[in-house]
Structure 1
Amino acid sequence: MFQRFDVTADPSHGPARLAALRELMGAEGLDAVLVPRADRFQGEYVAPADERLAWLTGFTGSAGFCAVTAQEAGVFVDGRYRVQVRSQVAPDFTPVNWPEVKLADWLLERLGSGQRVGFDPWLHTVDEIENLRERLTPKGIGLVPIDNPINRLWSDRPAAPDAAFSAFPEEIAGESHASKRARLAAQLREAGERACVLTLPDSIAWLLNIRGGDVAYNPVPHAFAVLHEDGTCDLYARPGKADAIRDHLGEEVRVHPETSFVPGLDFLPSPTRLDPKSCPEAIHQFLTARGITVSRGSDPCLLPKARKSAAEIAATTEAHLRDGAAMVSFLAWLDREAPKGGLTEIDVVRGLEGFRRATNALLDLSFDTICGAAAHGAIVHYRVTEQTDAPVRPGELLLVDSGGQYLDGTTDITRTVAIGPAPEGAAESYTRVLQGMIAISRARFPKGVAGQHLDALARYPLWLAGQDYDHGTGHGVGVFLSVHEGPQRLSRLSDVPLEPGMILSNEPGYYREGAWGIRIENLILVEEAPSLPGADDRAMLSFRTLTWVPLDRRLIVPDLLSRDERAWIDAYHAGVLDRIWPRVEGAARDWLDSACAPL
């Protein structure tokens, strides 16, 4: 099994660890300390050695941070985790709704002039620290760089990951890393910059056509890199990690031990680009202290990585069809077995992984499968453990959000299904969620439109019923890379224009705490929209669906749908039959015929 069901954090440890941290704060004259969920590379996913937030608080979500004062410890989480955090932290910690409550405002309410806030400059970006300084310094509150206090308290901290890097096939990438380096180096020269520091693991993986195994489920390498104006690159990694890819990297990529990275910064030319949204403050401090001119700009890999090549699109299209067949076999099995009442959430997770493994192409999951029965479905990022494993019972909803990592693509799909008769009100809410998903799928929009302009399309049917959801509508997705990829998003917060080749999730939802949760998710690809008769020549974009797996027709209320929505569902199911039926057999084919019948 790729997925484990052990309990990874224990809230009961929190109070003693919090007391030890406060004792250390007192000894060092600190009035507050920040504990983020971040590592020195500033990627979204962290290794066990960097799970400092979970070690201190018990909260295991993928985003958040803790601010500790002498009297209070606030755990800041977004809408995805507000149910989860309450069950994972001890009463000594106070959940804080973020970003509605800003960290600076929270600190200003609790601290006064002359007081000091400690932070590890490797675990916070340039922007984060500058924004805090801008608010705190005028009030006389100081931000103090410190050696990480959690590292000093965490006696059994796991070792740093040591997975070897591997080469990613050029025929899937669609471009050699030499070509990528040359292309981005030309952009640096055009901007008058002589080098760029890269820290994001997926950026380095994309640029050099390499993959790694340093965090769970996301095949990214832990390394630092410097891209120079001549297209050469310095790669800094733990000894031995890059040995197997020396020939792949070639002479223009120089490999150094990671311990040489900071000393190597001494020799960077001026100006050197840093991305203030992802570069650790420690690197910025080091360069400016040595008089090296810093040029602020976006990580040059972000947009090229997001705009998938034709080869990547072809590869991931195949990966999604393969994964769709595994999902259909799984749903057919689930439909047979779940109504008998003998399954639990863990049984379902194991069953789904088995169907994906049967493809003989699965390299890993793309995240811990979220399998929430009944009330657990309302925990947006629920992870089943041996302690929380619940039965899957008739008369309830089951939410399954899952994905696979294949060499040719990364998948992410959510289906909510009824086990026997649906609970009261669930079908109506499911239909509204589906209407939002359809609205995004059918969208046509001018070039220059960003995710924040489209997000409301998915919410409008829910808003009409006084309902909503507290997470974004969609995130970017890589190709055998991170299942959460920026900078593209479908979100009120995203001002990045969508461009052809970008892959996004389309996953509206609705959650009734204590009862059930609903989410429906397909992955979609941005592409040039087909021309319309009589339309002007304005350039338009649209979405192409990548995910082909039936929706639960038992939860659809046809009377709530428009004619166009009904037509979209029937056409989608016809597309599922056309693409997936040849890839399954036996009982799965019979089930698929029934599941894809027209409304």
Structure 2
Amino acid sequence: MFQSFDSPTSPDQGPPRLAALRKHMKDIGIDAFLVPRADRFQGEYVSDHDNRLAWLTGFTGSAGVCAVTQDAAVVMVDGRYKVQVKAQVAKDFTPVNWPETTLTDWLSDTLSTGAVVGIDPWLHTIEEVGKMTLALPGLKFRAIANPIDAVWADQPDPPMGQIIAHPLEFAGESHADKRARLARDLAERGDGAAILTLPDSVAWLFNIRGSDIPRNPIPHAFALLRADASAVLLTEPGKCTGLDDHLGPDVTVAAPDQLEALIRDTQGPIRVDQASAPRALADMFAKAGVEYRHGPDPARLPKACKNAGELQGMRDAHLRDAVAMCNFLAWFDTTEQRVLTEVDLVTTLEGFRSETNMLREISFDTIAGAGPNGALPHYRVTTETNRELADGELIVVDSGGQYPDGTTDITRTLVVGDAGAEEKRAFTLVLKGMIAMSRARFPRGVAGAHLDSLARYPLWLAGLDYDHGTGHGVGAYLCVHEGPQRLARTGDVPLQEGMILSNEPGYYREGAFGIRIENLIVVQQAPAIEGGDDRDMLDFETLTWVPIEKRLIDLDLLDRDERDWLNAYHAECRDKIGSLLSGQTAVWFHAATEKL
């Protein structure tokens, strides 16, 4: 459960591993090889067995790709990781900012016509390979066995975590009803079956949870759902001990190597989500001579729209988590902070969550970045980077818990002593954006891309911005990052009731400080407004109830509506969890929630 502070790799390991990979590439006759941060399930988080990008390059971020030729090796990352990647990779690897330079741009500029690009077809989606092939007709893309596996001598074994049933009271709907609901959609669209390749979709569909991925309660599994609502769970049978009664007679378990035989025996067409299914599946269909067609993962949108049971579980989990967070914040404010380190913050916060006696896991490695480390949005403290807190520094603490009834994710920015005027100004601009999103009211049909600028506008007016989305979807005791909903420029899915999102604008000044404030919010039907035109409108319910640091606010920058919102938020914090706190935490909480 508790976070490790060891570095998974170090830069000096990169050059010999790169040399071994290049030798193997030469032996098998490929000119380039692509190493994505991906496994066959296309999740954001990967097991130790599948962490090939980190093993080769040292880069540990959750998104990126390395392209290797005999003469060059680049690591392409987005704006979240442009500082981190420079610190983690050896000089043999050249960091490249994406999307300023795309992978296809680099391959086109680097490789000659006729060059052979090796890809592991399990690690690239059907859509991705299709786009690369169309964009680079002069290159030859060859599906190969992964050459990193051939040179990674001590590669860990694939995970074999046990799968457990997820209680109906938290799932809110039986898996038989879910299968029937999704099967009706398949039949109406003329699909004989669908293959689900996203483990959180599989976990949601069958009301199961697993432990194959750190921090995410999901199993490594595919599923075949037929239009008659029967289904096959494709995972190692040894992981399913004791699940027979839960799964029932209409769900069978088969080993992953039975997938090709199942495809041959299934009446098509079979739906496959080309945006998430590995290219290897398309090759299987071609070999079996079975028709498949592209369509959305049938579970993805239903999973995103939480039902009443899931929402209640999330509310309960957030109240429990808020108590742990307040215990932590009270401890922080009543401790001699200048003798603390980032590691102290991480271990103490995890300890308070453990004291709830309900914590199953943390929902991601806790981010506790002090001073310049806070300017790395996805910073992960290690024994080498651990920093003592210093007077006047800001600390970004982004953390969450996995509880049997829900998943939490919260960020608060703290300060040691007194912050400078520039830090307070930036914090207040971020707070204004976070409040604007919390207060948003919008017509049905609006997507996250339409709302993203609400959180950025106060920063934009000051010539500032941040290089990550404003919010991601969140699962209900599932993955802390869940699609398809997003509050971001790329968020093109219309928001619907029950979708849970993070609201987390930020600001990061490289080498100096970082700021982020995050609550989770859920889309709900908005109440009618007198004088309105009866338009169908939505707004957000807040799930997170933890005070926001008032000492970092420049009050002159908040207007009356923003002050009223923050005062009302703190008053509701009192109503929600005030009675659950005691001792020094209760004293701290009373002061932290006083009106501005």
* TM-score grouping bracket, smaller chain normalisation: over 0.9
**Cα offsets for 1:272-301 (capped at 9, x unmatched):** 000000000000111023221111100000
**In structure 2, how many angstroms separate the alpha carbons of the residues matched to 1:266 and 1:42?**
24
Aligned 8 A contact 1:426 1:555 in 2:
yes
Aligned to 2:298: 300
**In structure 1, how many angstroms separate the alpha carbons of the residues matched to 2:259 and 2:407?**
31
Aligned to 1:10: 10
> In the alignment, which of 436, 446, 450 is matched to residue 449 of structure 1?
446
Aligned residues: 596
Aligned to 2:346: 349
Give, in angstroms, the shift of residue 423 of structure 1.
Answer: 3.3
| Structure 2 residue 501 is matched with structure 1 residue 538 | no
**In structure 2, how many angstroms separate the alpha carbons of the residues matched to 1:77 and 1:536?**
46
| Structure 2 residue 335 is matched with structure 1 residue 337 | yes
The one-letter code of the counterpart of 1:33 is F
Tell me the secondary structure at the aligned position of residue 60 of structure 2: coil
The one-letter code of the counterpart of 2:14 is G
TM-score normalised by L of structure 1 = 0.98
Aligned to 1:576: 573
> In the alignment, which of 373, 381, 385 is matched to residue 376 of structure 1?
373
The one-letter code of the counterpart of 1:6 is D
Aligned to 1:25: 25
Aligned to 2:499: 502
> In the alignment, which of 406, 420, 423 is matched to residue 417 of structure 2?
420
Aligned 8 A contact 2:449 2:492 in 1:
yes
> In the alignment, which of 537, 559, 565 is matched to residue 562 of structure 2?
565
Aligned 8 A contact 1:400 1:414 in 2:
yes
The one-letter code of the counterpart of 2:292 is V
**Cα offsets for 1:534-578 (capped at 9, x unmatched):** 101110000010001000000011110111001001101111111
Aligned 8 A contact 1:224 1:236 in 2:
yes
Tell me the secondary structure at the aligned position of residue 427 of structure 2: helix
Tell me the secondary structure at the aligned position of residue 303 of structure 1: helix
Aligned to 1:475: 472
**In structure 2, how many angstroms separate the alpha carbons of the residues matched to 1:240 and 1:184?**
27
**In structure 2, how many angstroms separate the alpha carbons of the residues matched to 1:281 and 1:100?**
26
> In the alignment, which of 190, 198, 218 is matched to residue 216 of structure 2?
218
Aligned 8 A contact 1:344 1:392 in 2:
yes
| Structure 2 residue 94 is matched with structure 1 residue 97 | no
Give, in angstroms, the shift of residue 338 of structure 1.
Answer: 4.2
> In the alignment, which of 524, 530, 548 is matched to residue 527 of structure 1?
524
**In structure 2, how many angstroms separate the alpha carbons of the residues matched to 1:11 and 1:246?**
47
Tell me the secondary structure at the aligned position of residue 6 of structure 1: coil
| Structure 2 residue 105 is matched with structure 1 residue 108 | no
| Structure 2 residue 386 is matched with structure 1 residue 402 | no
| Structure 2 residue 452 is matched with structure 1 residue 436 | no
**In structure 2, how many angstroms separate the alpha carbons of the residues matched to 1:323 and 1:118?**
46
Tell me the secondary structure at the aligned position of residue 425 of structure 1: helix
Aligned 8 A contact 1:410 1:478 in 2:
yes
Tell me the secondary structure at the aligned position of residue 353 of structure 2: helix
Aligned to 1:155: 153
**In structure 2, how many angstroms separate the alpha carbons of the residues matched to 1:435 and 1:542?**
17
The one-letter code of the counterpart of 1:446 is P
> In the alignment, which of 275, 278, 281 is matched to residue 279 of structure 2?
281
**In structure 1, how many angstroms separate the alpha carbons of the residues matched to 2:243 and 2:83?**
44
**In structure 2, how many angstroms separate the alpha carbons of the residues matched to 1:75 and 1:204?**
31
**In structure 2, how many angstroms separate the alpha carbons of the residues matched to 1:367 and 1:244?**
28
Aligned 8 A contact 2:263 2:290 in 1:
no
Aligned 8 A contact 1:164 1:244 in 2:
no
**CA distance 1:448–1:338, shift in 2 (3 Å):** farther
> In the alignment, which of 168, 172, 175 is matched to residue 177 of structure 1?
175
In structure 2, list runs of 5 or more residues that go unmatched. none
Tell me the secondary structure at the aligned position of residue 376 of structure 1: helix
Aligned 8 A contact 1:76 1:95 in 2:
yes
Give, in angstroms, the shift of residue 107 of structure 1.
Answer: 0.4
**In structure 2, how many angstroms separate the alpha carbons of the residues matched to 1:132 and 1:366?**
34
> In the alignment, which of 307, 310, 321 is matched to residue 309 of structure 1?
307
Give, in angstroms, the shift of residue 219 of structure 1.
Answer: 0.1
**Cα offsets for 1:196-218 (capped at 9, x unmatched):** 01110100000000000000010
Aligned to 2:42: 42
Aligned to 1:360: 357
**In structure 2, how many angstroms separate the alpha carbons of the residues matched to 1:338 and 1:448?**
50
Q: Identity percentage over the alignment?
A: 57
The root-mean-square deviation of aligned C-alpha atoms, in Å, is 0.9
**In structure 1, how many angstroms separate the alpha carbons of the residues matched to 2:494 and 2:61?**
28
Give, in angstroms, the shift of residue 186 of structure 1.
Answer: 0.3
Aligned to 1:117: 117
Give, in angstroms, the shift of residue 263 of structure 1.
Answer: 3.0
Tell me the secondary structure at the aligned position of residue 240 of structure 1: helix
Aligned 8 A contact 1:45 1:62 in 2:
yes
Tell me the secondary structure at the aligned position of residue 486 of structure 1: strand
**In structure 2, how many angstroms separate the alpha carbons of the residues matched to 1:291 and 1:262?**
11
> In the alignment, which of 269, 272, 280 is matched to residue 270 of structure 2?
272
**In structure 1, how many angstroms separate the alpha carbons of the residues matched to 2:100 and 2:315?**
38
Give, in angstroms, the shift of residue 11 of structure 1.
Answer: 1.4
TM-score normalised by L of structure 2 = 0.99
Aligned to 2:207: 209
| Structure 2 residue 526 is matched with structure 1 residue 516 | no
**In structure 2, how many angstroms separate the alpha carbons of the residues matched to 1:511 and 1:472?**
14
**In structure 2, how many angstroms separate the alpha carbons of the residues matched to 1:268 and 1:5?**
47
**In structure 2, how many angstroms separate the alpha carbons of the residues matched to 1:257 and 1:31?**
35
Tell me the secondary structure at the aligned position of residue 391 of structure 2: coil
**Cα offsets for 1:445-478 (capped at 9, x unmatched):** 0000000000000001001111100000000001
Aligned 8 A contact 1:165 1:244 in 2:
no
Aligned 8 A contact 1:338 1:393 in 2:
no
Matches within 5 A, 1:317-328: 317-328=315-326
**In structure 2, how many angstroms separate the alpha carbons of the residues matched to 1:48 and 1:98?**
25
The one-letter code of the counterpart of 2:107 is L
Aligned to 2:66: 66
**In structure 1, how many angstroms separate the alpha carbons of the residues matched to 2:63 and 2:336?**
33
**Cα offsets for 1:377-411 (capped at 9, x unmatched):** 00111111111111012211111000000001000
The one-letter code of the counterpart of 2:140 is G
The one-letter code of the counterpart of 2:499 is M
**Cα offsets for 1:416-447 (capped at 9, x unmatched):** 01110113410000000000000100000000
| Structure 2 residue 547 is matched with structure 1 residue 550 | yes
**In structure 1, how many angstroms separate the alpha carbons of the residues matched to 2:238 and 2:344?**
39
**In structure 1, how many angstroms separate the alpha carbons of the residues matched to 2:404 and 2:544?**
17
Aligned to 2:488: 491
**In structure 2, how many angstroms separate the alpha carbons of the residues matched to 1:100 and 1:268?**
43
> In the alignment, which of 376, 388, 391 is matched to residue 388 of structure 2?
391
The one-letter code of the counterpart of 1:179 is D
The one-letter code of the counterpart of 2:381 is V
**Cα offsets for 1:174-199 (capped at 9, x unmatched):** 10000000000000000000010111
Aligned to 2:82: 82
The one-letter code of the counterpart of 1:117 is V
Aligned to 2:260: 262
Tell me the secondary structure at the aligned position of residue 241 of structure 1: helix
| Structure 2 residue 458 is matched with structure 1 residue 461 | yes
**In structure 1, how many angstroms separate the alpha carbons of the residues matched to 2:360 and 2:466?**
32
Aligned 8 A contact 2:263 2:288 in 1:
no
Tell me the secondary structure at the aligned position of residue 542 of structure 1: strand
**In structure 1, how many angstroms separate the alpha carbons of the residues matched to 2:265 and 2:567?**
62
Aligned 8 A contact 2:237 2:253 in 1:
no
**Cα offsets for 1:62-101 (capped at 9, x unmatched):** 1111111122111111111111100000011111111232
Give, in angstroms, the shift of residue 367 of structure 1.
Answer: 0.4
The one-letter code of the counterpart of 2:8 is T
